[in-house]
Chain A
Amino acid sequence: DGGITQSPKYLFRKEGQNVTLSCEQNLNHDAMYWYRQDPGQGLRLIYYSQIVNDFQKGDIAEGYSVSREKKESFPLTVTSAQKNPTAFYLCASSTNGRAKNQYFGPGTRLLVL
């Protein structure tokens, strides 16, 4: 089945630790995105990538980093510089950067201990 997978479903981070969230897609999509959702809020764009080896900051990129070494993978690292990392993180992809419809993964909930 084609789709987007995110792992793990739940992730715990200690203060001062970096953690990496995985996102993999087998839809052969060029563009991939990371969003953050906080309670009672909409989704906010963290980073996006329109093609392999290229990525751009979204609205709330501070404290996060990404890489896009392979078309199917777009991992997100939440660094210790992110002061309020507890949130629900969603990865999405689209056929290309001009495509309007995005397909979402199941999400990862990150909790800080």
Chain B
Amino acid sequence: DQQVKQNSPSLSVQEGRISILNCDYTNSMFDYFLWYKKYPAEGPTFLISISSIKDKNEDGRFTVFLNKSAKHLSLHIVPSQPGDSAVYFCAAAGGGADGLTFGKGTHLIIQP
């Protein structure tokens, strides 16, 4: 029973355009959400996070939006760059869970 879902296994976006990665969750007790970026054969690196008391957090080209009523969050990357090509994991904390609960990831491919 997946508590964090990333329904798009892959996403292809043209360089310079906006990339939007989506994530849904089922556990209403999650109170903190994170996005990690992962290259093949490497560990994930932290990208951006948001607390459940906020609906938006911005850091440079990256913005995370949280819609608590819909149990949905999204990561926007503007403008998309070739180095953004990677697998992006959505993760959630809290809700009585130990550690982080991860989605299956979305492979973002930036086309030149």
A74 vs chain B, min Cβ distance (A): 13
Interface: A85 (CB within 8 A): no
| Chain A residues, Cβ within 8 Å of B104 | 40-42
Interface: B25 (CB within 8 A): no
Which of B4, B94, B100, B105 meets A102, CB within 8 Å? B100
Provide the bound-state CA to CA distance between A4 and B44, in Å. 12
Which of B32, B43, B94, B98 meets A45, CB within 8 Å? B98
B70 vs chain A, min Cβ distance (A): 21
B92 (CB) vs chain A CBs: closest residue: A100
Within 8 A of B (CB), among A85-107: 88, 90, 92, 100-107
Cβ contact within 8 Å between B44 and A104: yes
Within 8 A of B (CB), among A1-20: 4, 6, 9
State the majority secondary structure of interface residues on A. strand
Provide the bound-state CA to CA distance between A92 and B91, in Å. 14
Provide the bound-state CA to CA distance between A44 and B93, in Å. 13
A99 vs chain B, min Cβ distance (A): 9
| Chain B residues, Cβ within 8 Å of A42 | 4, 6, 89, 102-105
Question: Chain A contact residues (Cβ within 8 angstroms of B): what range?
Answer: 20 to 34
| Chain A residues, Cβ within 8 Å of B45 | 104
| Chain A residues, Cβ within 8 Å of B46 | 101-103
| Chain A residues, Cβ within 8 Å of B60 | none
Known: A42-B102, A48-B99. A100 touches B32 (CB 8 A): yes
B57 vs chain A, min Cβ distance (A): 13
Interface: A64 (CB within 8 A): no
Interface: B49 (CB within 8 A): yes
A3 vs chain B, min Cβ distance (A): 10
Q: Among B32, B45, B100, which residue has the most Cβ atoms of chain A within 10 A?
A: B100
Interface: A56 (CB within 8 A): yes
| Chain B residues, Cβ within 8 Å of A9 | 41
Interface: A58 (CB within 8 A): yes
Rank and list the top 4 A-B pairs by shortest CB-CB distance, nearest first.
A104-B43, A42-B102, A45-B99, A100-B93
